[in-house]
Amino acid sequence: MLDERSKKVLYAVIQCYINTPGPVGSRVVTKKYHFGLSPATIRNIMSDLEEMGYLSQPHTSAGRIPTDSGYRFYVDSLSAEKQLVNNVLTAELNKKFELIKKDINSFLDDASKMLSELSHYIGITMSPNTGMTTLRKIELLKYRDNRLAVILFTDEGIIQNRIVPVVPDISQRELNRIAEYINSRFKGRSLDEIKRLILKEMTKEKVLCDSLISEAIRICRNAFSAAPGNIYISGLSEVLRLPEFCDINRIRELLQTLEAKHIIVNLLDNIADSEGTQVLIGAENILDEMRQFSLVAATYKEGSRPMGTIAIIGPRRMNYLETISIVDSTAQFITKLLS
């Protein structure tokens, strides 16, 4: 357990390093923070913090920089300050999005850009897995002789278009009747739930005898297959300005990570059921590709049901207080919109 003096010095080193990348010496801390301690005393405290694993010394003659453990101790102390920033950010979010009248995918694309603009790091949003969304209405349109355009409208504002096979001689009038049947039978249910109900319906004698209902069930089976959420990534140019990315190998590593979207999906899926804003610092990330970065993420919901995830990726030397507040406020804002 750190005493108050050690905490103050640790926080000061972290703040200095966030603001100006480069090892932080005891004289810098003495000048910037009036703790009433001599440089020698601060140097001794920094040495103790290094022994405890909170700081490291990259060169024998240089100052110290925070370790992942040092950042973790710092992040865990931020909850009291977070709400003060949230009020300002919530007002900013309302101002930015008050005129947006779009489906959720377009909205989330804009939200990823906004996350990046506010944080100056990489903003990421993931739309809901379609299996979790709730059917509001289905429309069926004859596309070709044996093809059908299925348009799904969900309560979450997602509009999906799918092309599925259909019997060649079916008429648009019959398709309208099938759409009416599906809407009356399945409206208000999640796509995953509809799939389960369809499997039960297929065994019923009435379905087997009624060709129209049978065709409706077959259309549903093809149309309601769930798809993973879309990923929206913005702000690569923001992080490339940071000194951490002056190394071409680090840039290449970052680009490869972002291009392999399944890596980001796996990362966010691991956070999807977590409560509150999650912070993964460096080696805390389960994926090797992410261990040079920090990730701040939160889940947005419809009511109490998790729907999707938003995140910011940046260097381990990120402004955690501001970034946590941005992610937390944005997740709450999207949750409010969906509700």
Task: Please report, for the chain, the start and end positions of each structural domain, with discontinuous segments joined by +.
Answer: 4-74, 80-128+229-338, 131-223
Superfamily, domain 80-128+229-338: GAF domain (3.30.450.40)
Nearest Cα to Cα of residue 309 among 337, 330, 284, 280: 330
Secondary structure element (H or E) that encloses residue 279, with its range? strand 278-281
Residue 99 pLDDT: 52
**CATH topology for the 131-223 domain:** Enolase-like; domain 1 (3.30.390)
Q: Is 79 helix (H, G, I), strand (E, B) or coil?
A: helix
Q: How far apart are CA 279 and CA 297, in angstroms?
A: 7
**CATH topology for the 4-74 domain:** Arc Repressor Mutant, subunit A (1.10.10)
122 alpha-carbon distance from chain centroid:
11
Task: Classify residue 276 as left (phi > 0), alpha (psi -120 to 50) or beta.
Answer: left
Q: How far apart are CA 295 and CA 284, in angstroms?
A: 10
Residue 115 pLDDT: 92
Q: How far apart are CA 284 and CA 271, in angstroms?
A: 13
pLDDT at 76 over 60: yes
Is 5 exposed, middle or buried (CB count within 10 Å of its CB: 0-12, 13-18, 19+)? middle
pLDDT at 325 over 70: yes
Q: How far apart are CA 267 and CA 244, in angstroms?
A: 22
Other Cβ atoms less than 10 A from the Cβ of 3: the count is 9
Residues in Cβ contact with 83 at an 8 Å cutoff, skipping those fewer than 6 apart: none
Give me the sign of the Cα torsion angle 91, 95, 96, 98: positive
Task: For residue range 167-224, list pLDDT tens digits in order.
Answer: 878 888 888 988 898 899 889 888 778 877 876 766 664 544 566 777 777 787 777 6
Residue 281 pLDDT: 95
pLDDT at 101 over 70: no
Q: pLDDT band for position 58 (50/70/90)?
A: confident
Q: pLDDT band for position 18 (50/70/90)?
A: very high
Tell me the helices (H) and strands (E) count for the chain, helix number first.
14, 10
Q: To the nearest whole percent, how much of the chain has pLDDT over 70? A: 85
Residue 261 pLDDT: 76
Residues in Cβ contact with 281 at an 8 Å cutoff, skipping those fewer than 6 apart: 68, 71, 72, 75, 294, 316
Q: How far apart are CA 78 and CA 328, in angstroms?
A: 13
Task: For residue range 241-266, list pLDDT tens digits in order.
Answer: 888 877 777 778 788 878 877 778 77
Residue 144 pLDDT: 74
From residue 64, alpha-carbon distances to 56, 181, 250, 291 in Å are 5, 69, 22, 20
Q: Which residues pair with 227 in a beta bridge?
A: none
Residue 182 pLDDT: 87
Residue 307 pLDDT: 81
Task: For residue range 266-304, list pLDDT tens digits in order.
Answer: 778 777 777 889 999 998 987 777 888 999 999 988 777
Kindly write down the DSSP assignment for every residue of 115-127, as one continuous string: HHHHHSSEEEEEP
Contacts 24+ apart (CB under 8 A), 96-100: 97/333, 97/337
Q: How far apart are CA 328 and CA 330, in angstroms?
A: 6
Q: Residue 219 carries which side chain, given as an amino acid letter? A: I
Task: For residue range 104-133, list pLDDT tens digits in order.
Answer: 677 888 889 989 998 999 999 988 766 667
Residue 303 DSSP symbol: T
Q: pLDDT band for position 34 (50/70/90)?
A: confident
Average confidence (pLDDT) over 22-48: 91
Residue 208 pLDDT: 47
Residue 120 pLDDT: 92
